[in-house]
Chains A and B, each alone.
Chain A
């Protein structure tokens, strides 16, 4: 099966400028979240714009379902893909509802106005994102977090398969960051592929299935998040010594990134690849979830990693409407890490992984 969105050997430089993107390769599948990380000025937004054919790749191409985006008719492309710009400020004084309705453009004829069905869809999306109460407010009179949600709603109104967000949680306070990130997670759980730029490696660790780190100078590394967002890679790309730690809550274990110090140049060059531990280990994962749909997702994920499984115990707790699964794994450390990461990305689930000592 070819991936939903794939970028092959993408390179780009602004006219007369240095190479910004150099041989970029990555892919995203339906229901996956891809986080694009990189220092300021590394070209994260440029990467997204090239990916969406708003800027033309100098070489390389973007493929949607195997078809080159550049040769697709705009209407067809933009009814499958949607773009959420940074919510700096509203340029125009439309109501939030009118703004969301504009997202239907690719599905409305040039000389037509939105039909009753279009309005229903716009209302549905706003209800789903919990912002229907903003519908009749002017988009310049709402807060930054609310505007970001309105712009996400506008993108979702076109019923896209891929949602591209440019720093959706920047400039937002704690609460609104969570609102936006939770929205992205739940859209992905419904099968939408999400690509987002972010300044926060922690958000990639907590939310993204795949990550891409853009280095200054144009190169990138991409792959599954636990393999990409590591202390080494952060040191190399950002020039920052950081530790990735885990914060344990009653429900689950969250990964976090704590920046420690700025790397002195010599030190940055000198770092050698620390031998990744492919040693096998034993781990036990306990999972608690609240509904059947989640259980299906967990089961299909466990099926994918069947070769690691050495023990499994399912326990429906019907009285409380809970499903509890305990699994025991034996396999390569990184693989176990990838599985437990993927499990933790499913919304509405509590996951904890315990590794056996030496």
Chain B
């Protein structure tokens, strides 16, 4: 890393190109194997408006796989960038949408939305509201003048998370067994199989706007982990910065949850990998988290849909990778740094 904290040019190129390569490969993988050449062919004819050689291939690539891969990329990028923001905001390496209870809160909100028969926009809004409520409760319970300890925030996050999990169970209990219950249960497991350009058009703007905002204020985000007095003495309106950060990160999380359920661990895994490689300067951390989050999610989702005949919920994969990583991070000396 250079002294100014910016990414070296070679890494900028890698981080831009890598998601596209991952997407290109993922487009070809599935029950019907399609070579990268054919994939490119389809994309090119689609762009230029020429004639397609095979209707089947075109349909598979454009209508089934592409929206799903775009969704995976957005969710991966969104969850890892909001994980990154939460960690810096709470100056706590274990703060993520999952550990802070945001994801549980958003899940409850979204399940409530499904129960009430809302459309995706409504589900997103209830998800955002409850996610916001959860993180506020966690904040109130776990941070105070005399409780500087790292574990308080995570402990209170677990409490708030379990509270909202209980509320999700309540929703399931009252949901209609024939139609709503299976929908809620399956959706809670986390999956990207319902992806279509229609769902994307509703959820993607929030995620993209959030990521863009974090990208723009990425240098200033370096002030987030500082103590109150230090942050004030920087001449920045630290309250505004924190409020904007918490709203944007919660909105991204709620949007992801409403589109594909609770996909855990991404917000912990990816930012920490990036911290290890690029350091804690957000100038490099935000872009690298966005890019590698997208790549990770594309890879994991492709694995989930292609490893067996029946699709495996993607959160099972992220958890099997995430849980051991979390333990490793906890035990590693120096792994506790932001």
Residues of A within 8 A of B (CB): 49, 52, 54, 74-75, 77-79, 81-83, 85, 91-95, 97-98, 101-103, 105-106, 108, 110-114, 119, 135-136, 140, 155, 158
Establish whether residues B281 and A94, one from each chain, have CB atoms under 8 Å apart when the complex forms.
yes
Contact A111 B217, CB 8 Å, known A74-B236, A93-B280, A98-B222: yes
Instruction: Determine the distance from Cα of A98 to Cα of B219 in the docked complex, in whole angstroms.
Output: 10
B side interface size, CB within 8 A? 31
Is B225 on the interface with A (CB-CB < 8 A)?
A: yes
Establish whether residues B279 and A95, one from each chain, have CB atoms under 8 Å apart when the complex forms.
yes
Establish whether residues A112 and B219, one from each chain, have CB atoms under 8 Å apart when the complex forms.
yes
A100, chain B: closest CB distance, angstroms: 11
- Chain B residues within 8 Å of A75, by CB: 235
> Which residue of chain B has its CB nearest to the CB of A141?
B334
Is B204 on the interface with A (CB-CB < 8 A)?
A: no
Beta-carbon contacts under 8 Å, B200-245 to A: 216-220, 222-223, 225-230, 232-237
Beta-carbon contacts under 8 Å, B1-47 to A: 3-6
What is the total of A-B residue contacts with beta carbons within 8 Å? Answer: 89
- Chain B residues within 8 Å of A49, by CB: 229
Establish whether residues B234 and A54, one from each chain, have CB atoms under 8 Å apart when the complex forms.
no
Is B337 on the interface with A (CB-CB < 8 A)?
A: yes
Is B283 on the interface with A (CB-CB < 8 A)?
A: yes
Is B274 on the interface with A (CB-CB < 8 A)?
A: no
B237 interface neighbour in A74, A83, A94, Cβ under 8 Å:
A74
> Which residue of chain B has its CB nearest to the CB of A113?
B219
Establish whether residues B232 and A74, one from each chain, have CB atoms under 8 Å apart when the complex forms.
yes
Is B163 on the interface with A (CB-CB < 8 A)?
A: no
Establish whether residues B217 and A110, one from each chain, have CB atoms under 8 Å apart when the complex forms.
yes
The binding surface of chain B is classed by DSSP as loop
- Chain B residues within 8 Å of A79, by CB: 235
Give the 4 A-B residue pairs with the shortest CB-CB distance, closest first. Answer: A106-B235, A78-B235, A83-B233, A105-B234
Contact A85 B230, CB 8 Å, known A95-B279, A98-B222, A113-B219: yes
Is B91 on the interface with A (CB-CB < 8 A)?
A: yes
> Which residue of chain B has its CB nearest to the CB of A135?
B3
Is B338 on the interface with A (CB-CB < 8 A)?
A: yes
Beta-carbon contacts under 8 Å, B170-220 to A: 216-220
- Chain B residues within 8 Å of A114, by CB: 4, 219
Instruction: Determine the distance from Cα of A95 to Cα of B283 in the docked complex, in whole angstroms.
Output: 13
B219, chain A: closest CB distance, angstroms: 4
Instruction: Determine the distance from Cα of A106 to Cα of B235 in the docked complex, in whole angstroms.
Output: 5
Select the residue from A79, A83, A91, A119 with max chain B CB neighbours within 10 A: A91
A192, chain B: closest CB distance, angstroms: 16
Establish whether residues B91 and A91, one from each chain, have CB atoms under 8 Å apart when the complex forms.
yes
Establish whether residues A92 and B280, one from each chain, have CB atoms under 8 Å apart when the complex forms.
yes
Establish whether residues B229 and A105, one from each chain, have CB atoms under 8 Å apart when the complex forms.
no
Establish whether residues A74 and B235, one from each chain, have CB atoms under 8 Å apart when the complex forms.
yes
Enumerate 29 A-B pairs (CB-CB under 8 Å) in ascending A order: A74-B237, A78-B235, A79-B235, A83-B230, A83-B233, A85-B229, A85-B230, A91-B91, A91-B225, A92-B91, A92-B222, A92-B225, A92-B280, A92-B337, A93-B337, A98-B222, A98-B281, A101-B5, A102-B234, A105-B220, A105-B236, A106-B235, A108-B219, A111-B216, A113-B6, A113-B218, A119-B3, A135-B3, A155-B233
